[in-house]
Structure 1
Amino acid sequence: MDKSFWIKLRDWTAFAVSHHVIMGIYLLLLRAVVGYFYPGFQWQYFFIRIFIFHIGYIIVSFIIRAATYPPGPPPMAILGNSPFVNVLTPEKTFLEYREIYGPIFTLHLSQPTVILADYKSIQDGLLKNGQHTSGRSSAESFVLFTGDRNNGDGVILAMRQKWKDMRHEISRFMNKWYGKPMDELVLHHTQCLEVELLKIAENQSLVDLRDPLAGAIANVIQQITIGRNYMYQDQEFQTQLRDINAVVKEIMTAEVFFVNCYPWLRYLPEGILRKWTNYKRSGFRLQQWFRTILEEHHVNRHQGDFMSHMIDLQESKQEQFNDLSIILTCGDMWTGGMETTVTTLRWGIIYLLNNPEVQEKCHKEIIEVFGNELPDMSKMNQTPYVRATLSEIQRLANVLPWAIPHKTLEDCCIGGYDIPVNTEVIPALGATLFDPNVFSSPMEFKPERFLDEEGKYRVMEEFRPFGLGPRICLGERIARTELYLIFASLLQNFRFYLNRGDPIPVPERVIGGITAPPKPYATRVEYLGNRSIN
């Protein structure tokens, strides 16, 4: 018997057991609790009625699910299918269910959620039906901050016209940054990062590079959005890092899941659901931080950053771009522009430490092309192996394994299935990155898979780390610039290595949130001196 059989057996067994437990609870309440207060209560008579009603509910629910949504495993009572979804590596779960139910199936998470688990179905959902599936979830964990269940707010969680207007303004503002200004900004902060790495190299000690990487990348997006830079160990900056890490981690916890399933739980006294409370407090602290910066911008206008741009628009479009919209949008840009890029580079160093021959090959190619000059985006195509290595790092890192759920804004048809309005849809791009039909030996680190027979970089249609369709990542161009220039600069001037006896980092994810950071690790750094550091 294959694995699919045992997965189906597990799901149906869990379905049956969960409903038996519910019936047991009914029996306990009727016989022990009600019977205690009302002696002589005929609990058997009422239990039979409740039993028949519950069986009828199961049958009707099954028929409605089959008629409304694509096929999928039977949901457990109360918990749905969540207990059997691997939170750390959901792409593995999606691929397993794809083998059973096909590339489009339904999982019952906080609500019935349609999973698109191969590239063809994702294309159908996000390109052919892009406008129909461009909504966002109205889960309590999102509405908590936006306050708008119908249209959302900011840019990541906004939808309909509000999303289109904000996306247009971001694109319009960012056009002046693309090209040379962006390259210069990234290289400036990369050189600041190199100064920090030089100190680490001189100490010859094992160091976790998370904070220096986060500081450099955060300063790029902060300068664009709010016109601020911070020293890496600045206490205000470290506080914001802790808060954003808490938000992206806690959002995938069981407590937040239950609040999304049963919204009344959010009104319980703070502290009962500690992770929900931590998620809420961290999110609102971040929101207040951006509000303080916005108040400063109202006083000191025209700073040349995105927040100033939006304040100028407020004069003519106050209702369209209110203070909360600006705060949430800057927060979205800050979070999206920092967390995913930092996580990708942290994964990159792990793979270089475990594959020193790849690091050496990248270094040689960078030296051949740039010598002792700063890397330049205009010569990126002359470094195909570096590009291939970055692509393979992005593929294996899969930093947004859950993606950000979409929602259908109207009835649509995806892959032959009719999907009703207000259905959550997860385009499982991570499943395509580990699809053995697309990437042979998908768990292996092989940059060569992105090279053709002539050694040139090979564009793979299925490799879409930034998504596709109307909701494609707005920061794709910034992220590509940061990843290439920082990666090339560091490998030009430094070597990451371990001594014998040093703990070897394992390419495994830490207990995750919506992003997929690696387990903490440390590396040694050697300064190669190919380019002077000021």
Structure 2
Amino acid sequence: MITALLFAILVTFLTGYILQTITKPKKYPPGPKWLPFVGCGNLVQKMSKLHGSQWKALSQIAKEYSTQVLGLKLGSELVIVVYGDRNIRQVLMEPEFEGRPNSFFIKLRCFGKRMGITSADGPLWREHRKFAVKHLKNVGFGKASMEQEIQHEMARLVEYIRSNSYKPISPKSILATAVMNVLWKYVAGESIEEDRLKLLLDLLSARSKAFSMAGGWLNQFPWCRFFFPEASGYSLINRINLQISAIIEEAIQKHKNNAASGDDFIYSFLNQMKLKKGTFTELQLKIVCLDMFIAGSQTTSNLLEFMFLTVLRKQHIQDKIYDEIQRFIGNNVPSWSDSHRLVYTSAFLLEVQRCYAIVPLMGPRRVLSDSIVDGYMIPKDTTVLISVGDLYLDPDIFENPHEFKPERFIDEHGALKNAEHVYTFGLGRRRCPGDALARSFIFLTFVGILQKFKIQCVNGVCPSDEPVIGLIAAPRPYTAMFVPRQ
């Protein structure tokens, strides 16, 4: 009798739990049915493999349900994906969407702690974002000295390309190095040794690929790391994190010993640690440095790769850009102020950012209180993903969106239009704090190289422009010939 009663209680409990896992909250956005324990994670995984990326998979599912807010459950996590300019702006601008998920995967990104700037929220995020922006400006970020630093790095790039003229060059191998050199200068005050730089870039690249691989079941079921540490990607990510951590710790120790030259962000942070302990810890400094390197290096260099790939494939556009450069600045060293005169060039850079969305699925955000998006109720702590990649292909915003057309960003008076629907660097209080560096680096490097070299296909064969989309988008590896201009 007691055994039967216990069995009945167990069955009732399991039935109630299963019903709870498959029952959607009231007024939750439309989306696939949920299975017990896994939600619709298996469907998303299957569709991601079929379409080549999670972004394209979720886009297809949203179209099947004819919705601008897609409601999902991945494992035990409620997730929505927002589409359309109105919904995207709401999530980017309103304070209730400023949170970050308090998930195992987010913590894994920053050495096991939800700290730093990118993955933090609340008072910690507000305090350290404000501090980072202020002190980076104090050491020259966004000022004339930053432009000079970029021009110096651009000159080194030009010299390297000139010494390898008529030889196939991989833009990836030189652009990421140049970006990281400038970033390291502001964070750590001096140039990083070449072998350490190469190692750091290799580790960041491997880390990005590892997180793309682990973004499925490890994210939804963190316990699988105990049973499948290698297959889940957990062991690989930990090994890479340890190596990256060691490089950053080495730079911090050098500053603690006053052995680093110049004024920089690490010195500013260490001084703040002496004045005000609180959240200013060495671990927080290490994670903030990691945030800066990840946010700045790969996205900026990948965008530049797409830009050179585009002029490689579209020689008539390359010629038009070069003619504009010659007409307005000739052989003078380009500066950011030239961006207002090089209208077609600036429009081209915007069109590349639209056509090759570097982060097509922005986020994740966490809802800090029950909210309404497009008439649907979004419960507190729901994870929000932002599909800017679909926005850039919306014909109601961009006419003939699949056509590459820089002129769409030039008005009838020949002036550059305000690119209000291009969210490369985000919007609102979570906007990328390094956008001034990224914009300047992209413009000066692109113009400086095109001013000196004609970019041609190797052996007359143009590479594919189909991107590889993981956590961020990247061109498939390619080489190009850089021919000196007369």
Q: Fold conserved (TM > 0.5)?
A: yes
Residue aligning to 2:295: 336
1:229 partner amino acid: S
Residue aligning to 1:195: 159
2:409 partner amino acid: F
**Alpha-carbon distance in structure 2 between the residues aligned to 1:434 and 1:424:** 24
For the pair 1:141 / 2:105, whether they are aligned, the reply is: yes
Residue aligning to 1:241: 201
Partner deviation per Cα, 1:61-82 (whole Å, 9 max, x = no partner): 44x3141631212245633442
**Alignment check: 8 A CA contact 1:493 1:528 kept:** yes
1:489 partner amino acid: G
**Alignment check: 8 A CA contact 1:347 1:393 kept:** yes
**Higher mean displacement: 415-424 or 356-365:** 415-424
- Any residues of structure 2 matched to 1:57-206 within 5 Å, and which? 60-62=20-22, 64-67=23-26, 69-75=28-34, 78=38, 79-82=41-44, 83-85=46-48, 88-99=52-63, 100-110=65-75, 111-127=77-93, 129=94, 131-144=95-108, 146=110, 152-176=114-138, 177=140, 178-201=142-165, 204-206=166-168
Out of 437, 458, 464, which is 1:506 matched to?
464
Residue aligning to 1:441: 400
2:137 partner amino acid: N
**Alignment check: 8 A CA contact 2:325 2:451 kept:** yes
Secondary structure in 2 matching 1:403: strand
For the pair 1:214 / 2:180, whether they are aligned, the reply is: no
**Alpha-carbon distance in structure 2 between the residues aligned to 1:333 and 1:247:** 15
Partner deviation per Cα, 1:111-159 (whole Å, 9 max, x = no partner): 22111111100112221x2x2111112232221354676xx21111111
Q: Give the direction of change, closer, same or farther, for the CA distance of 1:56–1:80 in structure 2 (3 Å limit).
A: farther
Secondary structure in 2 matching 1:524: strand
**Alpha-carbon distance in structure 2 between the residues aligned to 1:90 and 1:452:** 35
Partner deviation per Cα, 1:206-255 (whole Å, 9 max, x = no partner): 22121111111110111011123246xx32222111110111111121x4
**Alpha-carbon distance in structure 1 between the residues aligned to 2:16 and 2:102:** 30
- Any residues of structure 2 matched to 1:363-378 within 5 Å, and which? 363-378=322-337
**Alpha-carbon distance in structure 2 between the residues aligned to 1:303 and 1:244:** 26
1:263, distance to aligned residue in structure 2 (A): 1.8
1:317, distance to aligned residue in structure 2 (A): 1.7
Structure 2 residues not aligned, in runs of 5+: 1-6
For the pair 1:520 / 2:477, whether they are aligned, the reply is: yes
Partner deviation per Cα, 1:479-510 (whole Å, 9 max, x = no partner): 111111111111111111125x4431111123
Residue aligning to 1:26: none
1:388, distance to aligned residue in structure 2 (A): 0.6
**Alpha-carbon distance in structure 1 between the residues aligned to 2:237 and 2:222:** 15
Residue aligning to 2:264: 305
Partner deviation per Cα, 1:24-52 (whole Å, 9 max, x = no partner): xxxxxxxxxxxxxxxxxxxxxx9xx97x9
**Higher mean displacement: 444-453 or 328-337:** 444-453
**Alpha-carbon distance in structure 2 between the residues aligned to 1:93 and 1:459:** 31
Count of equivalent residues: 469
1:416, distance to aligned residue in structure 2 (A): 2.2
**Alpha-carbon distance in structure 1 between the residues aligned to 2:286 and 2:179:** 20
1:473, distance to aligned residue in structure 2 (A): 1.0
**Alpha-carbon distance in structure 2 between the residues aligned to 1:522 and 1:411:** 50
**Alpha-carbon distance in structure 2 between the residues aligned to 1:101 and 1:107:** 14
1:60, distance to aligned residue in structure 2 (A): 4.9
Secondary structure in 1 matching 2:312: helix
Residue aligning to 1:19: none
Residue aligning to 1:325: 284
Q: Give the direction of change, closer, same or farther, for the CA distance of 1:320–1:503 in structure 2 (3 Å limit).
A: same
1:319, distance to aligned residue in structure 2 (A): 2.4
**Alpha-carbon distance in structure 1 between the residues aligned to 2:336 and 2:167:** 32
**Higher mean displacement: 91-100 or 458-467:** 91-100
1:249 partner amino acid: K
Residue aligning to 1:38: none
**Alpha-carbon distance in structure 1 between the residues aligned to 2:249 and 2:52:** 33
**Alpha-carbon distance in structure 2 between the residues aligned to 1:147 and 1:339:** 19
**Alpha-carbon distance in structure 2 between the residues aligned to 1:296 and 1:60:** 54
1:259, distance to aligned residue in structure 2 (A): 1.9
2:385 partner amino acid: I
**Alignment check: 8 A CA contact 1:81 1:109 kept:** no
Residue aligning to 1:35: none
1:57, distance to aligned residue in structure 2 (A): 6.3
2:322 partner amino acid: H
Partner deviation per Cα, 1:295-353 (whole Å, 9 max, x = no partner): 11111177311111100100122222100100110111111111100000111111111
Secondary structure in 2 matching 1:435: coil
**Alignment check: 8 A CA contact 2:111 2:241 kept:** no
**Alpha-carbon distance in structure 1 between the residues aligned to 2:457 and 2:109:** 43
Secondary structure in 1 matching 2:334: coil
- Any residues of structure 2 matched to 1:285-434 within 5 Å, and which? 285-300=243-258, 303-434=262-393
**Alpha-carbon distance in structure 2 between the residues aligned to 1:264 and 1:206:** 46
1:524 partner amino acid: M
Residue aligning to 1:32: none
Residue aligning to 2:3: none
- Any residues of structure 2 matched to 1:1-40 within 5 Å, and which? none
**Alpha-carbon distance in structure 1 between the residues aligned to 2:370 and 2:242:** 34
**Alpha-carbon distance in structure 1 between the residues aligned to 2:215 and 2:92:** 27
Residue aligning to 1:474: 433
1:444 partner amino acid: E
**Alignment check: 8 A CA contact 1:450 1:457 kept:** yes
**Alignment check: 8 A CA contact 1:410 1:421 kept:** yes
1:175, distance to aligned residue in structure 2 (A): 2.3
**Alignment check: 8 A CA contact 1:246 1:278 kept:** no
**Higher mean displacement: 292-301 or 188-197:** 292-301
1:165 partner amino acid: E
Percent identity reads 25
**Alignment check: 8 A CA contact 1:88 1:509 kept:** no
Q: Give the direction of change, closer, same or farther, for the CA distance of 1:145–1:487 in structure 2 (3 Å limit).
A: closer
2:483 partner amino acid: E
Q: Give the direction of change, closer, same or farther, for the CA distance of 1:283–1:226 in structure 2 (3 Å limit).
A: same
When the two chains are superposed, the root-mean-square deviation of aligned CA atoms in Å is: 2.4
**Alignment check: 8 A CA contact 1:215 1:230 kept:** no
Secondary structure in 2 matching 1:197: helix
1:272, distance to aligned residue in structure 2 (A): 4.8
Q: Give the direction of change, closer, same or farther, for the CA distance of 1:260–1:299 in structure 2 (3 Å limit).
A: same
Structure of higher CA gyration radius = 1
**Alignment check: 8 A CA contact 1:74 1:81 kept:** no
